[in-house]
Structure 1
Amino acid sequence: MDPADAVIDRVRVERLDESGAGPWKAGDSRFAIVVEADGVTGVFAPVDELPAALVATRLGQSALRHPVADHTGLLHRLLAGLGPHAAGLGRWAVGALDCAVWDLHGRLADLPVAALLSDRPEPRVPVYASWLSLDLASTSAPESVKSTADGGFAFTKWALRGAEAAEMALLAERAAKWAGDSVAVDALGAWGHLRTMEVAPLLTPETVRWVEDPLPRTDQAAYRQLRRQTEGLRVAFGERLSHAEDARALLEHCRPEAFTFDAVWCGGITEAQGWLGAAHDAKVPVHLHGRAFLPAVHLAAAFPHVSGAVEYQVVWEPRRQRALCGTLRPDGGHVTLPDRPGLGMEVRR
């Protein structure tokens, strides 16, 4: 069927089969968003319970009879239906449904999503390794960091929180030494303004390529102030943003070292294209957040001139991919773009 003639016939939410992917553990995403057009099915998974429930109770009905190939029109319809709630959880749910529709479009066209986005997508996408649950002060940390860095990733990222400024700077220095290269540091929104000002003078570009989310809120005024008071500190942010206007203002006025937004949390693949464009205009490198790994890989393959290495969460991503038939794992610091239609993965259903 020509995708230009297809309309969405059905939207539903399915609970993933525990026998195929389980046993489940706390924090696992257990749902799939499924869309149909003329007997062809598109799907996006895994999805958490709350955004899946919003799709099931509200957004799915809004998508019915909408043309599959009109992604921008569908995005506007879904966001308009959410009204003042079109942020946070609302954007997450819209993004999950948007990705399922892109998967459906690709299956109808018999093309990978990246090939719908670009005439010449890159066949291999660089990734960086992220292991935020590792305690850098533990006795196992040196070997864990070294073995991860030996995987050929573009670079590695580690969490630093809950320690004095001097200790965090020392741990960052050690991590860079173990990795044999500068590392990214994720503060997970836990440092705050004063702690960031204490740590900033102790970090060097040779050790730390950026500090991600040092502040609890991605607020333009707060980051502009932080930039003035910590000259030379490289920061990254993006995953906590859900409004395009906020993203553009922060990119223009705060100039992060990296823009790390999430391809689903921002509103989906359709919305992400605009965010990539904003980053390109601001000349800010993009390193897409790893929670929505598969959509991020397709976006990075389609827009390699904007998007650099995608985050690969070395602990969580293999768990998420247990919900899929087949896996997308790094090899030599890259992942190969799936050549199957749509997003390129089948879900255990």
Structure 2
Amino acid sequence: MDPADAVIDRVRVERLDESVAGPWKAGDSRFAVVVEAGGVNGVFAPVDELPAALVATRLGQSALRHPVTDHTGLLRRLLAELGPHAAGLGRWAVGALDCAVWDLHGRLADLPVAALLSNRPAPRVPVYASWLSLDLAADSAAESVKTTADEGFTFTKWALRGGAEAAEMVLLAERAATWAGHRVAVDALGTWGHLRTTEIAPLLIPETVRWVEDPLPRTDQAAYRQLRRQTEGLRVAFGERLSHAEDARALLEHCRPEAFTFDAVWCGGITEARTWLCAAHEARVPVHLHGRAFLPAVHLAAAFPDAAGAVEYQVVWEPRRQRTLRGTLRPDGGHVALPNRPGLGMEVRR
């Protein structure tokens, strides 16, 4: 079937088989979004229960009979269907469905998604490692950081939650950089707030910390503009908590982060991610795509290497997510190879 002639015949949500991909643990994503046209299926997995339910009960019906190759038109239709509820969970559901349609488009065209996005996608994509569940104060932390860094990642990122004293947190960041042998990124996971960030900022050494990600609980333009005035020289990163392109553009222009770390599914999918990448490129802000949507992020980074830098690889969580897929996409020497199979390049294990 010519992709240009294909329309979406069916959208369904499947529960992944625990006997194949399990055993499940708390927090595991357990569903797949499947889109069909002319007997060919496109799939995106794994997906959490709430966005999967929104696709099953509402968005899937809106996508029926829509041309497979009209990604922008489909995105507009889905966001219009959600109306004022198109943020947060709504965007996540739209993004999962959008990625399934891109997978279908690639399968019909017999091309990887990256090759649909660009005439000359990069064959390999740089990745950095994150391990946000590791307690840097634990006795085993030094060995864990060293072992991870020795795998050749572009750099590494570690969590520093805001419960400790400022001096102790700075010391942990310095130790992580020493153990890793390079500047590290620090993820505050939204736990620092203004006061703690202003306490820590003057103590951080640029040669130690690449950026502090999500120091504030909300990615709000006014809040980050105030933080920028109060902590001159602090390198911050944000993006994964944003839902609207207009907010992203304003934050990029006025807050000038060290890195823009949005998620390719949470923002609304591959179609919307292209707009966000363009906005960051125009603002001359480096993009390091969030690792929750690792496979779509790899295709985007391969298609737009001038706009997207190293993609986050979550060293604990990503291997668990990939248990649901046939084949694996694992880093080798700080890079992953772009899948050369049609679509997103992976099959769901059934």
Aligned to 2:303: 302
Deviations for 1:61-116, whole angstroms, at most 9, x for unmatched residues?
Answer: 00000000000000000000000000000000000000000000000000000000
Q: Secondary structure at the match of 1:330?
A: coil
TM-aligned CA deviation for residue 306 of structure 1: 0.5
TM-aligned CA deviation for residue 348 of structure 1: 1.1
TM-aligned CA deviation for residue 204 of structure 1: 1.1
Amino acid at match of 1:59: L
Aligned to 1:282: 283
Aligned to 1:165: 166
Q: In the alignment, is residue 38 of structure 1 matched against residue 38 of structure 2?
A: yes
Amino acid at match of 1:129: A
Structure 2 CA distance, aligned partners of 1:123 and 1:70? 26
Q: Within 5 Å, give how 1:305-320 maps onto structure 2.
A: 305-320=306-321
Structure 2 CA distance, aligned partners of 1:193 and 1:31? 38
Q: Secondary structure at the match of 2:186?
A: strand
Structure 1 CA distance, aligned partners of 2:169 and 2:77? 46
- Structure 1 unpaired stretches of 5+: none
Runs of 4+ in 1 over 4 A off after TM superposition: none
Structure 1 CA distance, aligned partners of 2:69 and 2:33? 18
TM-aligned CA deviation for residue 157 of structure 1: 0.1
Q: In the alignment, is residue 229 of structure 1 matched against residue 230 of structure 2?
A: yes
Structure 1 CA distance, aligned partners of 2:303 and 2:266? 19
TM-aligned CA deviation for residue 40 of structure 1: 0.4
Structure 1 CA distance, aligned partners of 2:349 and 2:247? 37
Aligned to 1:347: 348
Q: In the alignment, is residue 251 of structure 1 matched against residue 273 of structure 2?
A: no
TM-aligned CA deviation for residue 43 of structure 1: 0.2
Deviations for 1:140-172, whole angstroms, at most 9, x for unmatched residues?
Answer: 000000000001000000000121100000000
Q: In the alignment, is residue 16 of structure 1 matched against residue 13 of structure 2?
A: no
Deviations for 1:249-305, whole angstroms, at most 9, x for unmatched residues?
Answer: 000000000000000000000000000000000000000000000000000000000
Deviations for 1:211-265, whole angstroms, at most 9, x for unmatched residues?
Answer: 0000000000000000001000000000000111000000000000000000000
Aligned to 1:75: 75
Q: Within 5 Å, give how 1:142-157 maps onto structure 2.
A: 142-157=142-157
Structure 2 CA distance, aligned partners of 1:230 and 1:338? 42
Aligned to 2:209: 208
Structure 2 CA distance, aligned partners of 1:177 and 1:163? 20
Count of aligned positions: 349
Aligned to 2:137: 137
Amino acid at match of 2:297: A
After TM superposition, the score normalised by the length of structure 1 is: 1.00
- Structure 2 unpaired stretches of 5+: none
Aligned to 1:268: 269
Q: Give % identity.
A: 90
Structure 2 CA distance, aligned partners of 1:348 and 1:190? 37
Amino acid at match of 1:248: R
Q: Secondary structure at the match of 2:195?
A: helix
Structure 2 CA distance, aligned partners of 1:23 and 1:280? 41
After TM superposition, the score normalised by the length of structure 2 is: 0.99
